[in-house]
Amino acid sequence: MRTTIFVLVLSTVLSLRAQTPRHLGPLLEFPIKGWDFGSVIQGTHKKKTLRLTNKGDADLIIQLAKVTCGCLSVTVTKKKIPPGESASLVVSLDSNRQRGRIKKHIIVTSNSRQHGQVFIPVFGEIKPVYRLEHDNLDFGLVIAGKTAKVEMKVFALPGAHPKVGTISLRHEALKITTRVFAEENGTHGLIITAILKQTAKPGRLVVPVRINLLEDKVDALRFVVVGAVLGDIRISPTKLSLPAIKSSKTREITVELSSFGKTPFRVERASCIDPHVTVEKDSESAQEKHTMIVKIAPAGFVGFIRTRIYLVTNRADQRVFTIPLQVEVRR
């Protein structure tokens, strides 16, 4: 009898609970997991709109809507969304000064019981109005005293007509010029020419170049001019990466400096800052070729020797030569 009464009471309680309306509170619903702006031409603007719906039974408050990039902006048509109603989240993409693939986020914070903070990814690809044929202009190896020239094309999108403003670079022996080109198939743009003058000094060439275009919404053209100017004096080898040696042994390596033009020169100093490495000159007099002996004497030292050898000549245009040296010393 008692069991029957308990079952009847429990059934009544559960029935009353089922009839009691459930309080949902504010619930944010958004239909997509991300936006793809697709392909966007640099300098243009695009907008997309997302519906934010309140599926709850209390007012949904949009507390914050922000983006993770200055190229995006976001606005919400209303901050307070009653139950069953929607608001528009409008996202604008400004492609000025942008290029390539982009992946950013929109962050929406609200009082929703679920999805209180939502991260919405934004994708797209910004196509530049002007595309460089290469990332750099490479002279390769140039003999000192000779003039060299290299060129590359800048391809323009249909309807674009490049107008060059200022050209910025820091190298007295390098000159950059541009000219317009147009082909029968419709391809058009600029040809950039880099001219290395005879006055270029021997050594490695790495010169950043910026070409400003007379268009407000288009980024400048940036590339690097690279190469190497070979002087009359050549060094061999240019670096020393040696096999491991024992700490009780001594190793000797030969380094040569020679004049390509058969012009005698002097080696005024040969040195190394590492105490386990010494450099011996072959002669104090002027010669077309000099041979130095590099001696590595660990004398019990164990570990890595990483240093540089310095050779100083009497030539003003090729004053100092450096040779990186690396070797492991074992017991």
What is the domain-level CATH number for residue 103? Answer: 2.60.40.10
Q: With 50 as the cut, is the pLDDT of residue 193 above it?
A: yes
Domain stops at, among 127, 162, 192: 127
* 218 phi, psi to nearest 5 deg: -120, 135
* 322 phi, psi to nearest 5 deg: -125, 140
Same domain, yes or no: 64 and 111: yes
Flag whether 11 is in a domain.
no
pLDDT bucket at 16, cuts 50 / 70 / 90: very low
Spatial distance between the Cα atoms of 275 and 278, rounded to a whole number of angstroms: 7
Flag whether 289 is in a domain.
yes
pLDDT bucket at 100, cuts 50 / 70 / 90: confident
Flag whether 1 is in a domain.
no
Percent of the chain at pLDDT > 90 equals 50
The encoded tokens of residue 239 equal: 């670096």
Q: What is the mean pLDDT of the chain?
A: 88
Same domain, yes or no: 326 and 240: yes
Flag whether 151 is in a domain.
yes
The encoded tokens of residue 68 equal: 């993770």
Domain stops at, among 71, 103, 127: 127
109-163 pLDDT, tens digit per residue, is 999 888 788 888 888 888 888 889 998 999 999 988 899 999 999 999 888 888 9
Percent of the chain at pLDDT > 70 equals 92
Q: With 60 as the cut, is the pLDDT of residue 15 above it?
A: no
Same domain, yes or no: 222 and 243: no
Q: With 80 as the cut, is the pLDDT of residue 294 above it?
A: yes
Same domain, yes or no: 242 and 317: yes
Spatial distance between the Cα atoms of 175 and 246, rounded to a whole number of angstroms: 52
Same domain, yes or no: 245 and 275: yes
Torsion of CA 213, 217, 218, 220, to 10 degrees: 60
Contact (Cβ atoms closer than 8 angstroms) between residue 51 and residue 84 = no
Flag whether 2 is in a domain.
no
**Cβ neighbours of residue 146 closer than 8 Å, sequence gap 6 or more:** 198
pLDDT bucket at 3, cuts 50 / 70 / 90: low
Flag whether 85 is in a domain.
yes
Mean pLDDT of 295-314: 95
The number of domains in the chain is 3
Same domain, yes or no: 30 and 123: yes
Same domain, yes or no: 45 and 67: yes
Same domain, yes or no: 252 and 307: yes
Other Cβ atoms less than 10 A from the Cβ of 211: the count is 22
Domain stops at, among 190, 210, 230: 230
pLDDT on residue 7: 47
Q: Which helix (H) or strand (E) holds 109?
A: strand 100-110
Same domain, yes or no: 221 and 251: no
Same domain, yes or no: 302 and 261: yes
* 8 phi, psi to nearest 5 deg: -65, -40
Sheet bearing 289-296, strands edge to edge: 233-236, 251-259, 289-296, 277-280
Same domain, yes or no: 64 and 30: yes
Annotate 227-284 with DSSP letters as a single string.
Answer: EEEE-SEEEE-S-EEPPPEETT--EEEEEEEEETT---B-EEEEEESSTTEEEE-S-S
282/218: higher pLDDT: 282
Same domain, yes or no: 212 and 257: no
Flag whether 8 is in a domain.
no
45-88 pLDDT, tens digit per residue, is 888 888 888 888 899 898 988 888 888 888 888 889 999 889 98
The encoded tokens of residue 130 equal: 């002007």
Q: In the beta sheet, which residues pair with residue 65?
A: 108
pLDDT bucket at 194, cuts 50 / 70 / 90: very high
Burial label, 220 (beta-carbon count in 10 A; 0-12, 13-18, 19+): middle
**Cβ neighbours of residue 263 closer than 8 Å, sequence gap 6 or more:** 232, 288
Mean pLDDT of 28-39: 79
Q: With 80 as the cut, is the pLDDT of residue 225 above it?
A: yes
Query: Where is average pLDDT lowest: 12-16, 87-91, 216-220, 312-316?
Result: 12-16
pLDDT bucket at 173, cuts 50 / 70 / 90: very high
277/159: higher pLDDT: 277
12/140: higher pLDDT: 140
Report DSSP state, residue 199: T
Flag whether 214 is in a domain.
yes
Tell me which residue range forms the domain holding 106. 23-127
